[in-house]
Amino acid sequence: MGKIVVSDNVSLDGVIEDPAGDEGFPRGGWVGLIKDRPELAKLALDEALGTEAMLMGRRTYDWFAARWPSRSGELAHRLNSLPKYVVSATLEHPDWHNATVLKGDVLHEVSNLKQRVSGEIVVPASIRIVRTLMEHDLVDELRLKIFPVVLGAGERLFGETSGKNAMRLVAVRTLDGDTVFLTYERAHNA
């Protein structure tokens, strides 16, 4: 059985919009260059090596597919070789290696994916999918890299829900002296 793992970069005030600064958000670029942050870079590689598949929405897919196929190195090799599942009603023929389009009901598709994939299915960015999966209690683990910046505006990771989603903190680490890496698991019977 697969395990849905949401992995996101988040500002102190919960913003996840445009961390790399190339999407046009006026306050974007708040993460900085990962190559300049050795502990963050190692974390990204370790996560990719422990992942069995990636799950993402169309916008996240387009962002990754525009960057990673032309890159080299261990992280690029791993991301390029991983199975990638893209939730999209409009994408017909994904050109990034090993990408499959999931059409239809997101909840049904993700539930089926969890049955087919053994191990971690990592969801990077993909805010709409994350919100839907959280709303329907399909997220097994949250991995949040909290960056020391308050943006004051921008798309936030969590929106309104119809109820509470209890999570349990299982790990805390400091990366590169200023970024906190929090790991939460779904709290059953909360």
> Could you read off the pLDDT of 129-143 as tens digits, one per residue?
999 999 998 999 999
At residue 189, the pLDDT reads 59
Q: Please provide the average confidence, as pLDDT, over all residues in the chain.
A: 93
CATH number for domain 2-186, candidates 3.40.50.1820, 3.40.1280.10, 3.40.47.10, 3.40.430.10: 3.40.430.10
Mean pLDDT calculated for residue range 63-88: 96
What amino acid occupies position 100? T
Q: Per residue in 8-40, pLDDT tens?
A: 999 999 999 999 888 889 999 998 877 789 999
Per the CB < 8 A criterion, the answer to whether 70 and 108 are in contact is no
| Residue 132 neighbours by CB distance under 10 Å | 17
Which pLDDT belongs to residue 161?
A: 76
Sequence spans of domains, the chain: 2-186
- pLDDT over threshold 90, residue 164: no
Return the pLDDT at 62: 95
In DSSP notation, 34-57 reads GGG-HHHHHHHHHHHHTEEEEEEE
The pTM of this model reads: 0.93
